[in-house]
Structure 1
Amino acid sequence: MGDNKVNIIKTGIGKKLILVEYPGLVKNDDKMIKTLGGLNKISRVFSNEKRRLELRYHPDNIYNKPAMGDSTTASGLFIKVKIKRPKDPNQGPMTHTVEILGKCAKKYHFNSLCDFQYLPLQKDPQTNKVSYIYDDIAPKNDCDIFCKPEAPLFCTPFVFTKNDTVNTKIHRSDKDQKHNLGNEDVIGIARTRTEGSEYVSFNLIDPFPEKPNPFIVKKLQIKYISDAQFEKVRQLFAECPIWNRIALIYESEVSNDKLKVILPSMAYYFTTGPWRTMYVRYGYDPRKDFQSRLYQTFDFRYRFKTGIGSLVKSRSEAISEVMKEDCSNSNDSLSQPKQNVFYPYFEEGQLPRSRQCIFRYCDLRIAKVQEMLKRVPSPASGAICNEKTGWLPSNFNDDCRQIISDQIMEHIKSMKQKAQIIIEDLNESRDVSENEDYEEEGIQEEFENEARTAEDQMDVTDELNLLLET
C-alpha cells in the first residue's frame, strides 16, 4: 500500500463463525433471515452436522419447495477493513484499519436445484382472469380445515425431481454406442461390463450369438493369456456348454482377471431368463435342448431367523473371515460351522458359501434335488421352454429352496450338538483335573503333617538321651 498506514486489530481472532453463501442480493437482513427459517431454525441446523439448511424464497407460501444448502469444511478469516482518507492529500497518507471479526471452519452453500416454485393460482374459464387463491385454500387454524368445504382444489406433488443435484454429464447417442466400446465417460449402468462381450437378454424369438466379437480376438493377442489357461477353459466348455463364473474359476484354476479376457471369446452371457448370470458356449441354444434344464440358474437367498445370521455370513464377510484365518492360522470356536466361500457346489452337511449365492441345478449335489431333476417329464414334440421357468415346472424352484433350507438347519443343529458334547467333555475333564489337584493337595498336607510329627518325635528322643547321659 505504499506509504499508507495499516492498523490490524486481532481481538476477534478466537471467535468461531459459520459462513452461509446466500444465493441472492441481500438488501434486508431480516427478510434474508426469514427465508432461511428464522434464527431459531438456523441455530438448530448449525448444531446438527447432518441437517441441511433450507432456503424458501416465499416463506409465507406453504406450497413453496425449499432449496437445500449443504455444509462443507472451510478455512478463512472474516475481516472488516476501514479506510480513512485525509481531506487534504498533503496532510498525510491514508489509514487502513483491518479488524479480524473471527475465523471460519464451516460453510453452507446452495448448489442444489431449486426445483419448481409452485404458486397457488387459478384461472377463471369465463373471464380468463388468473387470481391468487392462497388465502382461500391455506388454513389459518385447525377450524379452517373443516370449515372450508367450498375451497378450490389445489394439489401439488411432494417432489418434482428425483435428485436435487445438477447433472452435467452428456448422454451418448445410440450411434456412438455401437462404435465406441465403452471408452468414454458417459452415464451408463451401475455395473461395468467387459468390452466386446455379448450380453444377451433371454427371449423365445431372436437367435443367440454364434461367434465371438472380432474385438475380443484382437484383445486376446494383446493380453497375456497362456495356451494352458486358454485350453483349460475351452475344455470345460467342450464338456459342459453352460457355466457360471465361480465354477469356472474353481475348476480351471484360472484367475478372475484372466478369465474376464478368455470368457467373451468362448461364450455369451445371459442377463435375464432361466439361465441368468450364466455363460453359454457360442452356437449352443438352451431353448432347443431339454438337457439344459440341469444348468438353469438357481438363485438361493436364505431368509435367516434370529441368531442364524451370525453363522451364515455374506460373501464379503466370509472372505474377510478367510483372510483373518489365513493371517492368524488359528482354529477358533468349535461351534462355528465353516463356509467355503470359493466352493461352487452345495453338498449335504455343509453351509452355503454366502447368504445369497447362485448355482446351477447340477451344482446342487443333494440326492433329493437330483432325483427331482431326473423325474421331470420330457416335453412333447414341438414344445418350447418357458420364458421364466425354462424346462422345469413352476414350483420346482420353491421345492429346491425348501430342501436346501432344511439341510442347512439340520447341519447347524448337528454342529451345535457336537459342540455342546465337546464342551461338556471339556468341563468334565476340567472338573476331574481339579479334583485330582485337591486330592494331591490333601496327600501333600498329610505327608507334611506326618513328617512334622516324626521330626517332633526325634527331637523328644534326643532330649531324653541327653538327660540320661547327664
Structure 2
Amino acid sequence: MAERRGRERTAPFYPIPPREIVSVEHPAVIKNVDKAIDTLQGNFGISRILNPPRADTPASLVLRPEDAMSRPLQSTSSPSNNILLKVTVPKWTGRKRKRGSDEPFTAAYPAAETAGAQRRSAKDLLRSLRDNVGKYQVEAVGRVDRTHVFRGMPDFVFSTTASPFTNKFREHILPFDYEKMKTFDLDLSKGAVSNVDIVPPPSFSHGDVPFHYIYRQNPTVKQSVDTSGKVTTINTQQAAKVFTHLVPYDIPVVPSKPRDNCPPIETLERTLQETIAAVEALFAQRPAWTRRGLRNNLKTVDQRYCLRHAVAYVGYIFRSGPWRDAIIKFGHDPRTSPDYRVYQTFMFRILPREPEVARDGGGGRRHTLPRPAEASIDTSVPGEVGTSHVFTGQPPLPRDGRMWMVCDITDPILRRILFPEGGQPELGHTHTNPPPPNFLRSTCDIICDGWYGNGTLAKAKTIMRAKIQTLLQEDRPADDAEFVRILAFPDHAAVDDNSMQDFTLDPETATSREMQLATEVRATIKGAPSWRGMVSAGMDREHVRALETVESGPPIEGPPVSDGKRVKWEEDPAAEKYAEIVSEGEEEAREREEMMEEAAAAAAEAVEARVREREEAANEEEEAEDVERSEEDEDEDEDEDADDEY
C-alpha cells in the first residue's frame, strides 16, 4: 500500500525521442513559411543550420531574398537545453453558442471550412487550451540543443534599381554563367560630370550591435506654467546671460550705453546694484580698467562674483587690437587720442606649475571661488585692495591672470621704455607731460600697436616676457643688466631690406642671452599683423616713417580714418612663439576648448605610455631570447634563425 502511494506521488516519466532540433527565432512575423525559409537562404541555409561546420556558426538572414546584392544579417548561435512540445487540441469548427448553456451550436462561419488550412494565432491556441481542459494531448518531439537569435541591426539599404552598372552586374555576373560573363563590359569613357552612376559599397555599417545612448531627462530641467497658462520646461541651473558689448577693433562708433535687452538697474538684485555703483565709482577715476583691476578694488566676494554682470552696465570690451580685453567706459574711444595709450594691454602665455591653479592662474578663468590672489585679501579690513593687476617685476608673480595694462606697470626699466624722460605718469593715471618728439605714431594702428611704435612695443614685450619667465621658473627678479643693449634699439622699424639691421647686435661683443633677446624683438616686430600687412602691400621706408612718427602736439580729434579694408595675413611659425594668445573676454568658448585640449593631451599621453611599455616589454623579451640563443649549440641557432626568417 505504501509503495503504491509512493509511486502515485512520483512525477511521471516521459521519453524524449533522440531527435536533435535547432531553434531559429525569426525577427519577422511569419505568415508564409515558404517565404520565411527563403529569407534563411532556402534549403542550403537550412542544411547549414542543421549541420554547421562549427558549433557557433551563425545563420544568415536575408530580408530581401530576391536581391542577390543585399547584405545578410548574422545570427548569434548559442547552446540551449530546451524541449520541443507538440500540443494537440480539438479541431476548431468555427461554430458558437452561449457559454454555460446547453443550446446547440449555430451560425457556422463560411470560413470554418477552410480554417484548418490557416495558421492559428497564439491567442486562439491559448483559448482552445482553456476551453478544452483535459481534452488536449502533450507530446515531446525532441530536444533543442542550439538556438539562433537575430539581435543585430540590419545594414542600410541603397536602392540600385536605377543603376545601369548594378543591373548589368546582376544580369551578367551573379548568375555565374560563363557565356553571360563574357558579354560583361565596363564603360571606360572619360569626362562624365552629370548623372554619374554611383555604385554603393558592399556595406554601409561596420557594426550591427546597437549603441546604448542611455538617454535620460536632464535632472535640472523642470516643468512650469508661464504667464499665459501653457506648460513649459525651464533649466533651473542655466547660467545667466551676460549682455556685455564685445566689439571688434575696427568698429566705427563705440557703444555709448548698455544693450537694449539689459534689465533695468532698479529691477536687479541688491548686490548687483551695489557692484554697478562701485564699478561706476572706479570708472570715475579713469576711463579704462582690466578685469583684475576692478576685481581687486571690490570689497566683497559677492561683488567680485557679480562683476561679470555689472560690466554690461558700465562699459564695453574690445575683442582684439591694442586695447584687447580692456573694459572701457561707455562713450570713450581710445583710438581718438594718444593720451589713451596708457590703457593699452599686454597679454602673455603663463603656464602654471601647480595643478590647482591650472585653470585660474594659467588659463585666466573666472569662477565663483576666490582666486589665489583674492584669498590673501582680508575683506574684513576697510580699504583693503589687491595689487595682483600691478606688474612690479618683483616676486611673487600673481597667478590670477596674464594681462596687464600699461598704466599698471611699475617696473622701472619697462616704464623707461613706455614713458621716456619727462613723460612718466602716476600709477593708474594718464600722463600730463607731452612725449618726446618722434616717439608716437601720427595715426593709431588699430590692429596691433595702437599709438606706440612697433619697436617700442617689441622691446617692452620682450623684456616683460623675460621677467615673467624668470619669476615663474626661478622665483627671483631678472637682472636688468641683460636688457641694456635692448634699450638702445629704435622705437620704429620700417619695412625694407635693411629694416632689421638696427635691431641686431654684434655677436663678438654680445652675450648669448642678449642675442636671444634681440632675436625675440625681431620676431615680435615681424609677427605683428600691421607689419605683415605692410609687407604684403609693399610699402616703402619713407611711407612707413610718415605714418609712424609725429611731432608732439595736441590730441587728434575724431575717430581714426580707415579705407574700409582689413589686413589679411598668414601665420608665421617663427613669430607664433612670441605672439599673445586669444581674448580673455570670450570665457565660455575658451573654457570648452581648453577642456577638450586637456582631455586630448591626457589621452595622447596615456597612449604613448602604453606604447612605451609594450616596446620596453618587447625589448626585454628579445634580450632574454638572445641570451638563450647564445647558450645553445650552432645547429639549433641555425634552425631558430631559419624559423624566424620564415
Interval containing the TM-score (normalised by the shorter chain): 0.3 to 0.5
What TM-score, normalized to structure 2? 0.33
TM-score of the aligned structures, taking structure 1 as reference length? 0.43
More strand by share: 1
